[in-house]
Amino acid sequence: MIASDLRNGVERLGDMIAEASTIVPFTGAGISTECGIPDFRSPGGLWTRNRPIPFDEFVASPDARDEAWRRRFAMEPTFAAARPGRGHRALASLYRAGKIPAIVTQNIDNLHQISGVAADHVVELHGNTTYARCIGCGHAYDLVWVKQRFDEIGGAPDCTVCDEPVKTATISFGQAMPEDAMRRATELARHCDLFLAIGSSLVVWPAAGFPMLAKNCGAKLVIINNEATEQDDIADLVIHYDIGEALGPFVGN
Ligand SMILES: [Zn+2]
């Protein structure tokens, strides 16, 4: 059922939130655009101008690693300046109220954590770009260290523990999905009574599967996205309006 206007959508969403005891949000790029984080996949987005570097290329080629890190450093002012938007803050309010056990996200921007959700309660399907990890032993590095090493040696640094390459803690194209995050996201979708798909076009696997899974396990499904999604026809409520406008009324309860 598509909300006839924003006010109608917010009212019905409010009723569904009030009735629900366990809400699982699933968030995509659309929740962070008002925070200044570009949607990398959108037409004109970063990935249409800069071909993403696949994981096997990153592993095989020092030049690819240097290029990947140069791009990441160029994005740092954008990520460092980003603050949670109304969507993040509304979900953080519902989390504090005990309605949301954890948030599943496709985003890599750390904004759910900054909004006050414990890192353990943010299930990141595509990892996190605000720190780095060794691809061999998994040792974590902060980006300041990576930048300093890069400048000292003139290229992408290797792990000080095992000598393997250090990469942002994101999931690249061609890299396996994180098993633990996938398992947790599946469990959350199966055990909620309200599933909120927010700011995702719900096309790319595995995002496409979670709304249907939640529905099949008895949850109500709400989709909030600027544009139509592939899953609109199975949703109990669809809000095709700005995410900040739709979730703003739920900030701060
Ligand atoms: Zn290592």
In this structure, the number of other CB atoms found within 10 A of the CB of residue 98 comes to: 9
pTM: 0.94
Look up residue 7 and give its amino acid.
R
**Distance from Cα 106 to the centre of ligand 1, integer Å:** 25
Mean pLDDT by 10 residues, the chain (253 residues): 90 98 97 89 60 94 97 95 97 98 97 98 97 97 98 98 97 93 97 97 86 97 95 96 97 81
The single-letter DSSP state of residue 177 is P
Q: How close is the Cα of 150 to the center of ligand 1, in Å? A: 16
Integer Cα distance of 123 and 108 in angstroms: 11
Q: Give the CATH architecture of domain 38-81+127-170.
A: 2-Layer Sandwich (3.30)
**Interval 190-216: pLDDT, tens:** 999 999 999 999 987 777 899 999 999
Q: Which of 162, 164, 104, 112 is nearest to 135 (CA)?
A: 164
pLDDT given at position 253: 56
Asked: is 1-37+85-126+178-253 a CATH 3.40.50.1220 domain? The reply is yes
For residue 121, the CA-to-ligand 1 centroid distance in Å is 26
Domain limits, the chain = 1-37+85-126+178-253, 38-81+127-170
3-class secondary structure, 114: helix
Residue-wise DSSP of 36-90: T---TTSTTSHHHHS----HHHHHH-HHHHHHHHHHHHHHHHHHHH----HHHHH
Residues with a known catalytic role: 126
Across-strand partners of 26? Answer: 104, 197
Q: Which pLDDT does position 39 carry in this prediction? A: 79
In the prediction, which pLDDT does 38 show? 81
